[in-house]
Structure 1
Amino acid sequence: MDLDRIKSLIDAMAASDLAEMEFSEGGMSLRLVRRPQPADSRPALPAVAATALRASRPEPAQAAPVEDAANGVVAPLFGVAYLQPDPDAPPFVTVGQAITAGTTLCVIEAMKMFHEVRADRDGAVAAILVATGQEVEAGQELMRIR
């Protein structure tokens, strides 16, 4: 069993809600067990998910100005977008804010896992095209950077 095969099995388990998985191949056996998260180590973001999903469907934060799509930041996966770390916190970024490569722009919740979406270059936030709690598709434009 090679390392790529093991990684693909780990990814498959992470993308599912399986608690345990066992795989055998060529005399080798691999057992993966998901450990439950202790209640005190949970991230603050699930509270955002519950609050946002109870709210009515929000409209996008700002209409998209006509700009070059090459400046767009797209969702890497399907999930629920959050523009702030928790309901009482300020947003990660605002329109007009100067950012550097690596700045967290938002997070996407998928399968109870939170994935940070980071800027890939320096610039300024030109538009925010989604709202907190909005479901997004993989490849959907989230923001524009100028």
Structure 2
Amino acid sequence: MDLDRIKTLIDAMAASDLNEMEFREDGWSLRLVRRAQPGDMVRAPVETVPSANARPRPIRAEPGVAPKREAKVAAPLFGIVHLQPAPDAPVFVSVGQAVTAGTPLCVIEAMKMFHEVRAEQDATVSAILVASGQEVEAGQELIRLA
């Protein structure tokens, strides 16, 4: 097993939410285990300077509508969120749009890999909490569904 292959496997694990991975090849065995460090559990908020692409305020559905139980859609991994499949394409979803289970809501780019985030249930998009091109953390709330 060569060093480039090992680095590729380490990068693949770093880009995923896997805690453990084992790989065997030509009589070699490599086992990678992610162990939580005390400082990994809590992260301090990061201050940023507003730019032309500053994070928008949450877009909400119509006021006065009776509140429903909302489902929060969180980022499965760290990366860059894209709200449309291509720069010149329409957005995947917009506030007020009805979606069914399995509907693509956005894409997260990590290490040149694109991971679709899909609706887990039939619902209506009640808020989009991120901007396209924004860096997001694993577990960060992206979209609310009602």
Aligned to 1:59: 55
**Rounded Cα–Cα distance in structure 2 between residues aligned with 1:64 and 1:129:** 9
In 1, Cα distance between the equivalents of 2:9 and 2:116?
17
Note if contact 2:70-2:145 (Cα within 8 Å) is conserved in structure 1: no
Q: 1:29 maps to which residue? A: 28
- Residues 4-31 of structure 1, C-alpha deviations (whole Å, 9 max, x = no match): xxxxx985342469xxxxx779x82369
Distance 1:28 1:74, change over 3 A: same
Contact 1:58 1:133 in 2 (8 A): no
Which runs of no fewer than 5 residues in structure 1 stay unpaired? Answer: 1-8, 18-22, 32-54
State the partner residue of 2:12: 14
What's the TM-score once normalised by structure 1's chain length? 0.61
Counterpart contact for 1:64–1:129, Cα < 8 Å? no
Query: How far apart in 2 are the matches of 1:98 and 1:127?
Result: 12
Secondary structure at the aligned position of 2:87 is classed as coil
Partners of 1:140 and 1:16 in 2: CA distance: 17
> Could you give the per-residue CA deviations for residues 15-53 of structure 1, whole angstroms, max 9, x where no partner exists?
469xxxxx779x82369xxxxxxxxxxxxxxxxxxxxxx
Structure with a larger share of its residues in helix: 1
What is the identity percentage for the equivalent residue pairs of Structure 1 and Structure 2? 56
Q: Structure 1 pair 24/99, CA: closer, same or farther in 2 (3 Å)?
A: closer
Report the Cα distance in structure 2 between the residues aligned to 1:111 and 1:69, rounded to whole angstroms: 35
Q: Which amino acid aligns with 2:141?
A: E
Aligned length: 109
TM-score of the superposed pair, with normalisation by structure 2: 0.61
Alignment of 1:90-101 (within 5 A): 90-101=90-101
Within a 5 Å distance, the mapping from 1:1-146 to structure 2 comes to 12-15=10-13, 28-29=27-28, 56-60=52-56, 62-63=58-59, 71-146=71-146
Cα distance between partner residues in 1 of 2:123 and 2:68: 14
Asked if structure 2 preserves the Cα contact closer than 8 Å seen for 1:61 and 1:131, the reply is: no
Looking at structure 1, the residues matched to 122 and 24 of structure 2 have their Cα atoms a distance apart, in angstroms, of: 47
> 1:129 and 1:12, CA in 2 relative to 1: closer, same or farther beyond 3 A?
same
Code of the residue aligned with 2:56 in structure 1: it is P
Q: Does structure 2 retain, via aligned residues, the 8 Å contact 1:105–1:116? A: yes
Structure 2: unaligned runs, 5 residues or longer: 1-6, 16-22, 31-50, 62-66
